[in-house]
Amino acid sequence: MDTPHCLAISVGNSRIYAGRFTEDGLDWNARFENNDYEDAAAAIAEAWQAVAGEPRAAMVLASVNDVVADPLAEVISRRTGETVYRMGTDLAVPIGQQLDPASHTGIDRLLNAAGAFDTLHQACVVVDVGTAVTVDFVDGDGVFHGGAIAPGAAMQLRAMHQQTTALPEVDFSVPDGEPFGRSTAEAMIRGVYHGIRGLVWRLTEQYATEYDAFPPVIVTGGDALALFENDELVDRIVPNLTLIGMAAAVRRALESNDDTEASSPPFGHS
């Protein structure tokens, strides 16, 4: 089955991401601040109209921030008259897991892993550089092994300012080619920039040693281009990896349903 018609919504710690998938793949996407969820709902409802009449089209939502996701889903349902299916409850993430049984892994990490494996179809390192930095490993059978979590660039800069009396408030940006930070702000930015890049390099080397092969590295997240554009370590930057993982989940559910009970699709218009 090709990419299903669906509208995928990912609610993160800071932002809402939405994308519409058709037979041509991702043909519309948008980003909103979390406090703009009414505007996000209006845009999503409008985007939905392009696929609403398609057989078995679905709206799916994944969240690591239910304080925003719950009212967002309610407003979208009210505007469209459709069910908003939730990842993790209504729909399983199509990725194997080899983790501590007592652990609770964020659904965004699992969806990134699913999106990466669906994109590359091989073992890979999955890097997300946003509010937090995650560096995870998926093996060649599509099994998620976990990885590492660190503070994102903005969080690191904010923590340095808040936890000291002398370090200024600084916005993250890409440093110039000068090796030395000749002001406190420039030194902070260089520390964060090269610290995150070094972290990803070192962890990738560890994963490659454990796996006995050097897997491709796929990067997503709001700071992906700033940190890794033209980096020789990175094979691919995919801004909407979480949404791709959600579309893969819809496709997998429909394929599974076709194999068992074709007359009763898992998604229906309410």
Residue-level pLDDT, tens digit, the chain, 270 residues: 566 799 999 999 889 999 999 988 999 999 999 998 899 999 999 999 999 988 889 999 999 999 999 999 999 999 999 999 999 999 999 999 999 988 889 999 999 999 999 999 999 999 999 999 999 999 999 999 999 999 999 999 999 999 999 999 999 999 998 999 999 999 999 999 999 999 999 999 999 999 999 999 999 999 999 999 999 999 999 999 999 999 999 998 888 766 555 444 454 434
Among 36, 39, 108, 235, the active-site one is 108
Q: Reply yes or no on whether 212 is catalytic.
A: no
Q: Are 120 and 98 in contact (CB under 8 A)?
A: no
Q: Scan for tokens 């995650």, then name that residue.
A: 134
Q: What is the pLDDT of residue 165?
A: 96
Q: What gap in Å lies between CA 69 and CA 63, rounded to an integer?
A: 6
CATH topology of domain 96-239: Nucleotidyltransferase; domain 5 (3.30.420)
CA-angle at 22, arms to 13 and 120, nearest 5°: 65
Q: Are 189 and 122 in contact (CB under 8 A)?
A: no
CATH topology of domain 6-86+243-260: Nucleotidyltransferase; domain 5 (3.30.420)
Q: What is the pLDDT of residue 129?
A: 97
Residues 6+ apart with CB under 8 A from 125: 135, 136, 137, 138, 147, 203, 204, 207, 215, 216, 217, 218
Residues 6+ apart with CB under 8 A from 11: 34, 61, 62, 63, 64, 65, 66, 68, 69, 72
The pTM for the full model equals 0.91
Q: What gap in Å lies between CA 177 and CA 268, rounded to an integer?
A: 54
Domain ranges of the chain: 6-86+243-260, 96-239
